[in-house]
Structure 1
Amino acid sequence: MKTFQVLDTPRSSQALPEELRSGAKLPHISDIYKILMGRADIKRVSSGHIYKCRYDFVFETHTNGIIGSNGFIARITEESVSKADFLKEFSRLKRDNVEFYKNLRQEICHCIVALLEESYVESFVYLYRSMEKVAIAFPLQYISSIADFHKAKEALDSLFRSDSGELAFASKFAKLLSKNRDYLTEYKVSFYTEIENVNEFKVLVKEINRCCPDTFKENADINEDEGYFSIDFSQVPSLIVNVRNRLFHNSNSGQANFNIDKIGGAEELCRMMVYGGLHWLTLVYGEVVRERLRKI
């Protein structure tokens, strides 16, 4: 029995065609995008409790939860396409990798629900699981959609050089996306804090820098007045991995681990990682779906 069920908001349900509704056959790909765009509800099956997803992780802003077919199509495809053609292509797309997207949808539901319940450490666990799940699947799906054989081979070769590990694979894929998509070339992902005291924010940043120097020290732009830091789009998976490793381990093997007492607990650190990480994941998800639609 599944834990969560995705629902369209009442007004979106009226505005969306049957093919894009959460009650349609094989709704997983569109459900994920609606959740991450802040245009869906999540129902806990056991209790019937409804969680309203009203935060758009692409534009990092709150929403009214409403989306129609034109808005949905515009967010997924950048090309001029008729509604009928899009629905035909999308109906073919959602028949691929059904179990993968079904499982990913549930992981993201767990992540978002924990976030809405302000259980930030738990939400971070589900974010990590989601990123690890897509780390190899998304690059392979993306490359399989590249029509030019030489470009596809070049892209595939770039992913299998040097580093091992699934999220290292995701980092190289992020670099590939940055190379292929102009808007991502110099794009930075920001991680915001709710800490109002500047000195407390400085302590948190210092701890992140101490524990994650390879992905933070040379790459981060820090704004102490506004309470956030930004890193390159391609560095986000590495940061998430390093935070997870240094937060969930506390050995005396010589590696730096987060001083939980110094940063006032793990919740705020994890909240920052979840919001920034979901922004990254939503951008990547959109690029993969967009590229696969071009192939159809």
Structure 2
Amino acid sequence: MTDRYSIIDSIARNNTRYKHLKTEENPSPILNIFRLISGTVNVKDNYLNKTYKIRDNNIKFPTEKNLNNKYETILELFDENITLADLNNFFLKARSNRKFYKSIEVELIKCIVAYKDEKYLESFIYLYRIIEGISYSIPLIFVSKKDDYNKTYHDLQSYFGKDKDGEILFFKRFVSETFKDEDFYRSNITIDLNMVDIEELRPKYYELYLKKINERFILDKAENSFIKIKFIGYYDLLIELRNRFFHNMKGTWQENFDSTELMFPDQFFKPITLHGINWLSIILFEIIKFDLQKIR
């Protein structure tokens, strides 16, 4: 894939069928992204000679561990009328926007590897880089493949809104309008403060999270324990945490994080990041499924 990282297929090694589902035989960035977010590959760091088993199935909501790593693990993610032969044909033909998907693939590997190494802040950085990178392009790719020109035009108008206020909000509108009827969109995400290893930090981090979440997205909470928020509200939280952590201008109306508040930033981002990877993976998978439908 790159000079540093290689994707190793942990399913198809001894299987002679479905060659276009095999990462080592099919150099498709879309295939690699799918296999990464479904948790069905290994990633090797060629510099450190270290191999990571990627088994978090982030297409499931919430994330599940893959206990059995085989073709059926892939197939069960799709509708029951989809076969392995269909997927093999899809990943053979899915060649458009290759450069764009290649950039996502590189960032995604770094995001997942950092998470596996318990470098949660670093993982969050790459997660946000992906979101920024796709926030404008993914909606345009999606609507460009629709058959109805009038609906495509109407959809784009609704994503832009009246104020033309940037790509991040453009992407939020796209997700809200396109997936509002999906089960995952109507679900919720729980930020578990018990994931913070240093117990004394939990009350402080609980308050910091609460300050950065729009109240209308909060469904439930328990002091210093958990905060349950809506699916789309989690996107707002990711953006807000990025802005408040990476900006440090004084004298503005925003309340940016002070370094004394986040003495252990990896601990602060630990309860956040896997949910973010899960959130992103679900959206990426919806785009892959849409492409599959068009090719079929």
TM-score interval, normalised by the smaller of the two chains: 0.7 to 0.9
Partner of 1:6: 7
Partner of 1:72: 74
Partner of 1:63: 66
TM, length-normalised to structure 2: 0.87
Tell me: CA distance 1:218–1:259, structure 2 relative to 1, closer, same or farther (3 Å). Answer: farther
1:261 Cα offset (Å): 3.0
Partner of 1:217: 215
Stretch moving more, 238-247 or 220-229: 220-229
Partner of 2:233: 235
Q: Distance in 2 between matches of 1:239 and 1:249?
A: 15
Partner of 1:277: 276
Amino acid corresponding to residue 241 of structure 1 in structure 2: I
1:122 Cα offset (Å): 1.0
Contact persistence 2:21–2:87 (CA under 8 A): no
Partner of 2:174: 173
Q: Distance in 2 between matches of 1:26 and 1:113?
A: 20
Tell me: CA distance 1:110–1:197, structure 2 relative to 1, closer, same or farther (3 Å). Answer: closer
Partner of 2:249: 251
Structure 2 counterpart SS, 1:52: strand
Q: Distance in 1 between matches of 2:224 and 2:292?
A: 39
1:208 Cα offset (Å): 2.3
Q: Distance in 1 between matches of 2:284 and 2:243?
A: 24
Q: Distance in 2 between matches of 1:51 and 1:86?
A: 25
Contact persistence 2:59–2:285 (CA under 8 A): no
Q: Distance in 1 between matches of 2:132 and 2:106?
A: 14
Partner of 2:89: 88
Amino acid corresponding to residue 137 of structure 1 in structure 2: S
Structure 2 counterpart SS, 1:157: helix
Partner of 2:266: 267
Partner of 1:51: 52
Amino acid corresponding to residue 93 of structure 2 in structure 1: R
Structure 2 counterpart SS, 1:186: coil
Q: Distance in 1 between matches of 2:284 and 2:185?
A: 17
Tell me: CA distance 1:2–1:253, structure 2 relative to 1, closer, same or farther (3 Å). Answer: farther
More helix per residue: 1 or 2?
1
1:12 Cα offset (Å): 4.2
Amino acid corresponding to residue 62 of structure 1 in structure 2: K
- 1:174-216 CA distances to partner (integer Å, 9 max, x unpaired)? 102333x331442223333313787743421211233x2xx43
1:128 Cα offset (Å): 0.7
TM, length-normalised to structure 1: 0.87
- 1:55-91 CA distances to partner (integer Å, 9 max, x unpaired)? 12233122236131x432332x326134333422331
Mapping 1:102-181, distance limit 5 Å:
102-161=102-161, 162-179=163-180, 181=181
Consecutive unaligned residues of structure 2, counting only runs of 5 or more, are none
Contact persistence 1:39–1:65 (CA under 8 A): no
Stretch moving more, 150-159 or 281-290: 150-159
Amino acid corresponding to residue 183 of structure 1 in structure 2: D
1:256 Cα offset (Å): 0.4
- 1:105-148 CA distances to partner (integer Å, 9 max, x unpaired)? 11011111111111111111111111111111211122123233
Amino acid corresponding to residue 205 of structure 1 in structure 2: Y
Tell me: CA distance 1:6–1:228, structure 2 relative to 1, closer, same or farther (3 Å). Answer: farther
- Say if 2:278 is the partner of 1:291: no
Amino acid corresponding to residue 66 of structure 1 in structure 2: N
Stretch moving more, 187-196 or 100-109: 187-196
Partner of 2:187: 187
Tell me: CA distance 1:227–1:263, structure 2 relative to 1, closer, same or farther (3 Å). Answer: farther
Stretch moving more, 139-148 or 113-122: 139-148
Q: Distance in 1 between matches of 2:8 and 2:223?
A: 39
**Percent sequence identity over aligned pairs:** 23
Tell me: CA distance 1:148–1:227, structure 2 relative to 1, closer, same or farther (3 Å). Answer: farther
Mapping 1:24-43, distance limit 5 Å:
24-43=25-44
Contact persistence 1:40–1:53 (CA under 8 A): yes
